[in-house]
Amino acid sequence: MISVKNILTVLAVAFTAYMAARGLWWTDPVSYPLVIVAALGMYVAVTWLCIFWQPSADAAQVEHVDGDRGRSRQRLSVLPLVLAIACAVVVPNAISWAVGEGSRTESFATWYIGGIGALMVIVMVRGRPWAAWAGFALLAIASIAWIGALPAIQLGLLGSLVWLVVAQLVVHSVNRAARDTSRLTLLQRAASAWQTSQVVRQRERRVQVQKALAVAGPVLTRTVAQGGELTDDDRLEARIAEGRLRDEMRGPRLLDDDVRAELERARRRGANVTVLDEGGLDDVDEETLAVIRAQLADTLRSASSDRLYIRTSPDARVAVTVVGRSTSVGAPSDEDAVDLWREIPHPDAAQSADVS
């Protein structure tokens, strides 16, 4: 598969191999050819290790892009990094010493200036800028010490410096583009999530409006037809319709056909019923809800209180609390006594208690 990464890898391998080959093209006798060959072998091995070294699979799963600094954390590992710095120290000094004093400015003796510069560019691209600049500083010190400042600059030190600066600028630009792309992706996801939530809310509002029309529509139609002159039965139906609408808006997860029927029966006998779902059942599946609703319907079926308060509970053990209040005999009319208290447990919590 052809990709930008593969193309750059091939170019890096070819260029470093070319630089190393220049070191073998001796146009003059050298003092220690084995040292030169060993230095070339070290350079090629370390350079290609820095090119192809990849973090382990476990480390790659942990690595991620640092959004604050815009720098990839899949950086060159410590071992090849140390070898690259060692190469920047060993190769220039070994080559300059091995070729002899009279050949130190020849092309086969100064290839290391471009070669180590290319190695530091690779280190820079692999996310180790400080190490790359440290390696270049060691290269500059060694080359200037062996052949002098002006010859070193003329024979490639300035070019290596330019490569390193350009590499850092390119890496910075790429990292910034990656950071901006990541932020744009997050913004797009947030926008999509917001749009989806709005669509869901609109659908829920349409459903609620349809329910309201289904419940209140007949009552409103009859009220308009009669010019507002309602009988006692019509007023009762209007109160029941209002109660149904409040139930559907405040506690839809508590309702099924049996619960709705018992709530209507309680209101028809004159009870004041309040249903409120405060989020205690948000994570409960339908099967568990069916069990809770069945127990709620049984509780309402036997209730005779004047006021009924049905609320979900934040307690992990209690799903729904049902409280009934009625006026006590002989007590002031504004004081009610609790004549019903029922806590419907979560089925899972009840099963855990039985096992323990």
DSSP letters along 182-197, please? HHHHHHHHHHHHHHHH
CA distance 315 to 317: 5
Other CB atoms within 10 A of residue 211 CB = 15
What's the pLDDT band for 299 if we cut at 50, 70, 90?
A: very high
Could you tell me the two tokens for 170? Answer: 């390119």
Q: Are 269 and 305 in contact (CB under 8 A)?
A: no
What's the pLDDT band for 96 if we cut at 50, 70, 90?
A: confident
Q: Are 274 and 322 in contact (CB under 8 A)?
A: no
The two counts, helices (H) then strands (E), for the chain are 12, 6
Q: What is the pLDDT of residue 351?
A: 57
Question: Would you say residue 356 has pLDDT above 60?
Answer: no
Residue 273: strand pairing partners: 308
The β-bridge relationship of strands 336-345 and 318-327 is: antiparallel
Q: What is the pLDDT of residue 63?
A: 44
Residue 276: strand pairing partners: 311
Q: What is the pLDDT of residue 2?
A: 61
Could you tell me the two tokens for 9? Answer: 């890898």
Spatial neighbors of 258 by CB under 8 A, at least 6 apart, are 293, 294, 297
Question: Would you say residue 88 has pLDDT above 50?
Answer: yes
First to last CA, the chain: 60
pLDDT, tens digit (0-9, with 9 covering 90-100), for 14-63: 877 777 777 777 766 777 888 888 988 898 889 888 888 776 544 444 44
Q: Are 46 and 126 in contact (CB under 8 A)?
A: no
What are the structural domain ranges in the chain? Answer: 4-190, 250-355
Q: What is the pLDDT of residue 322?
A: 93
Q: pTM above 0.85?
A: no
The larger pLDDT score, comparing residue 237 to residue 25, is at 237
Mean pLDDT (whole number) for 290-314: 90
